[in-house]
Amino acid sequence: NSGSTVKDVAEYLGVPVPDVIKQLMSMGVLATLTKTLADEQIEIVAEALGKKMTIVHLGDEAEEEFEYDDADEDLVERPPVVTIMGHVDHGKTSLLDAVRSTEVAAGEAGGITQHIGAYQVHHNGKTITFLDTPGHQAFTAMRARGARVTDIAVIVVAADDGARPQTDEAIDHAHAADVPIVVAVNKIDKEGADPTRVRTELTQRGLQPSEWGGETEYVDVSAKTHQNLEELLDTLLVVAELEELEANPNAEASGVVIESKLDPGRGPVVTVLIQRGTMRIGDALVAGAEPGRVRAMIDYRGERVQQAVPGDPVEVLGFDGVPDAGEVVRVVANDREARRLAQERETREKAESLARRAGRKVSFEDVFR
Ligand code: GDP
Ligand code: MG
């Protein structure tokens, strides 16, 4: 038994409670507001009230997945998307800043001032995209809806502190997402730094260094003195190469929301990581229950751009509302289609939240088909 009451069902179907009770009475069931109904009863009531409803129990949380079947010849190499995780104070922010500054030093980006939740660096003729959002958040929020954002996880471990609880959490997140790990042993400039101890501790956690015959790449770095940052970037490109990261740029764009906010002047500002296709000004799009139309795109350097391709993070202006981080963004044929999909999603969410309260799980496709 599902545990749904008469009240739940009425709310679920969007009909007055007395209608449900009357319907039940006509079926010979004497019901009160809080009476728990059997699935079959709910289905019959729904049908009698003109609403088709199928109840399905799922073991796992429903996930929305978008799989595209691109032909091999349409696929081109795309930048790896890297997330930095690790224990508090081990140097995540410092390392992100240090890596970003190599780009400024190389004169690639005339002074990066913009914070849009991600940035890119160019190294040996290739591009690497770094997510500049708290790493664990990137993993949890984004994975909640089945979106895979990160290709490589950099786990920062301070050489003077070693593996700590959030180091383990970071390893768990990366494993759960099936993402390769690169260990950045940070703060090697500090007195008392012991990079070998870090390797030993992490070997005990299953991350055996390649130099010890294992499969995990370690790079000793200092976010403070910028020692070995190039080596870190080299290593990320090597790991990326093995992953064979590709995407079709010649398709309607899709991607994931990595940050969003409501700006008093500009309205909803949504940073999107493009994962497939090319996004252009004027495209109609939808993210979760929010439709929109691309009015402007701004890159991580703060410059307006006309288009964005796989691996690019861009701030998108033109959404009607503010979709959550982790939502899938899709360009669709036109505004009407965008609004229709957004509306569909809203309906689904209402049904889901009600179903959740009633202590059951339904898949997206199973409500109001
Ligand atoms: P987060 O909490 O992981 O983001 O760590 P932060 O980047 O905020 O760094 C925590 C502290 O460690 C700050 O005081 C940094 O200045 C310092 N720090 C970070 N990286 C290094 C490093 O490579 N060497 C030294 N000596 N200090 C560092
Ligand atoms: Mg930080």
The answer, yes or no, to whether residue 46 has pLDDT greater than 90, is: no
- Predicted complex ipTM: 0.99
> For 212-245, how does the pLDDT look when each residue is reduced to its tens digit (9 = 90+)?
999 999 999 999 999 999 999 999 999 999 999 9
Helix axes 6-13, 17-26, angle to 10 degrees: 110
179 Cα to the center of ligand 2, angstroms:
21
**pLDDT category, 59, cuts 50, 70, 90?**
very low
Closest among 92, 203, 71, 197 to 137, alpha carbons compared: 92
**Ligand 1 midpoint to CA 73 (Å):** 44
Tell me the per-residue pLDDT of 301-313, one tens digit each, with 9 for 90 and over: 999 999 999 999 9
- CA pseudo-torsion sign 281, 285, 288, 290: positive
According to the model, what pLDDT value does residue 124 have? 95
Nearest protein Cα to ligand 1, atom 6: 91
- Higher model confidence: residue 116 or residue 64? 116
For the whole model, what pTM was predicted? 0.79
Which one is predicted more confidently, 36 or 342? 342
- Around ligand 1, the residues with Cβ closer than 6 Å are 86, 88-94, 186-187, 189-190, 222-224
Instruction: Dump pLDDT digits (tens) for 254-290.
Output: 999 999 999 999 999 999 999 999 999 999 999 999 9
Q: Which atom of ligand 1 is nearest to the CA of 221?
A: 23
CB 27 within 8 A of CB 40: no
C-alpha 235/C-alpha 217 separation (Å) is 7
Distance of CA 38 to the CA centre of its chain: 37
- What is the mean predicted confidence (pLDDT) over 81-95? 95
Q: How many CA atoms are closer than 13 Å to the CA of 155, on its beta-carbon side?
A: 30
Average pLDDT over residues 339-359: 84
Q: Is 54 annotated as a binding residue?
A: no
pLDDT(155) > 90: yes
pLDDT for the residue numbered 156: 97
Beta partners for residue 88, in sequence order:
none
- The whole-number pLDDT of residue 6 equals 87
Distance CA 47, CA 59 (A): 26
Task: Check residue 110 and report its DSSP letter.
Answer: S
